[in-house]
Structure 1
Amino acid sequence: MSDYDPDAEATGKYMVAFIESAGKVSPVFERKVREIFENHMGTLEEDSWYLNANVEKAFDEVLEEVGEKTMMEGGVESGKAIDWPNEVETVMDGFNIWNTFHEAAYRDSDLDFPAGRYTVEHLGDRKVRIGITEGYNLSAEFAKGCSKGIVQELSDTSNRTRLEDTEPNLDEQAAWVLEW
């Protein structure tokens, strides 16, 4: 079974955070990113839902037009925008339930993960190996940024991260090791 459903719907919450993060790079980037998303989906609202295929097209165009750095920064802000439950107290707690939030960001699909999923392997107290499966459609740079944003949001000691690409497993399209 595929890990991608183009007919599923994705929440606008993380897309709005992504667009607003482009403004931290520059107002010109924010306008450009907003324009790209609106060309594919109309006006974005946090509490609205958007066709997964259109979300993918918008993210692909953003990556092509404004580059990997902006895509990663948008991922950081999206990772920081997750509403963690009270029982999530550490970065590792967050990584343990990250897929729960990714799954909840989509609806109207027979698949549990209509836009792929994250793989997480704990390598140490402050080190994880993260991958994204083949169905993940928001770009590896966005996912890397999300993982950094989770660290920034949940770490009480460090906002510094070190990220290094690593060989993906057979079920992954990309993988990296993240330390903080």
Structure 2
Amino acid sequence: MSRYDEDALADGQYINAVIETMGEVSPIFEKKTREMFKEVLGDIDADEWYRLGDVAEAYSRLTDEVGVQTMKQGGEASAQTLPYSDDISLEEAYDKLDKTVQEVYQDSDMKYPGGRYTYDLDTAAREARLGADKNWALPKPFVKGVHTRMINRFGPTDANPHLEESEPEGDEKFVWEVTW
């Protein structure tokens, strides 16, 4: 049984970003991604909303089909589409991400219908503990991609994130110890 709200609706703009990213990998991946999402969700429109349980199923199938690394790239693409100024700090970006995660869903009584990203940053030491909570709906490689792009986009210009998987604690579903 999932701990996220399967009936909440997810914003199509982020699904569309993943599909477009697959096209950057290869036209074949984009076509395959579009077909998989269409099979589960119908035609994807960036201005529409899709049932989270179906979205999670589509992402899971896609990960199985195209692989972990390609799904990580999908997470990176989603982080790149976040409507934040590139000149904000990493801390500000994660605070905004936390609010965005609440806004990309509708029709739910839960504060975080699809779960939330977890983050404990020490920017002075250039290290963090990053992950997702137990309610998280999407695949682990997607989350890894989001965290990687967040550091590359909002961290220091010479950031080179290294994510080492760690043992989840408390409410974490999965987590990485990160240096950059």
- After TM superposition, the score normalised by the length of structure 2 is 0.92
Q: Does 1:96 pair with 2:70?
A: no
Q: How many residues align?
A: 178
Alpha-carbon RMSD across the aligned residues, in angstroms, is: 1.7
Structure 2 match to 1:84? 84
Name the CA distance, whole Å, in 2 between partners of 1:75 and 1:119.
Answer: 15
Over residues 50-89 of structure 1, what are the superposed CA-to-partner deviations in whole Å (9 max), with x where a residue is unaligned? 0011101100100111110011000001011100168x61
1:163 maps to amino acid: L
**Long gaps (5+) in structure 1:** none
1:48 maps to amino acid: E
Name the CA distance, whole Å, in 2 between partners of 1:142 and 1:134.
Answer: 15
Q: Does 1:37 pair with 2:56?
A: no
Fraction of identical pairs, as percent: 34
Name the CA distance, whole Å, in 2 between partners of 1:27 and 1:179.
Answer: 33
Greater mean deviation of Cα atoms: 52-61 or 121-130: 121-130
SS in 2 for 1:53: helix
1:58 maps to amino acid: A
- After TM superposition, the score normalised by the length of structure 1 is 0.92
- Return the offset for 1:166: 1.0
- Return the offset for 1:45: 1.3
Name the CA distance, whole Å, in 1 between partners of 2:50 and 2:132.
Answer: 21
Greater mean deviation of Cα atoms: 166-175 or 5-14: 166-175
SS in 2 for 1:170: coil
Structure 2 match to 1:12? 12
Name the CA distance, whole Å, in 2 between partners of 1:132 and 1:124.
Answer: 19
SS in 2 for 1:4: coil
Structure 2 match to 1:122? 121
**Long gaps (5+) in structure 2:** none
Greater mean deviation of Cα atoms: 120-129 or 28-37: 120-129
After TM superposition, the structure 1 = structure 2 runs for residues 130-141 of structure 1, keeping only pairs within 5 Å, are 130-141=130-141
Name the CA distance, whole Å, in 1 between partners of 2:148 and 2:31.
Answer: 24
- Return the offset for 1:107: 0.4
- Return the offset for 1:123: 3.1
Structure 2 match to 1:106? 105
**Runs of 4+ residues deviating >4 angstroms:** none
Over residues 107-142 of structure 1, what are the superposed CA-to-partner deviations in whole Å (9 max), with x where a residue is unaligned? 000001111111111134222211211111111110
Name the CA distance, whole Å, in 2 between partners of 1:130 and 1:3.
Answer: 20
Structure 2 match to 1:48? 48
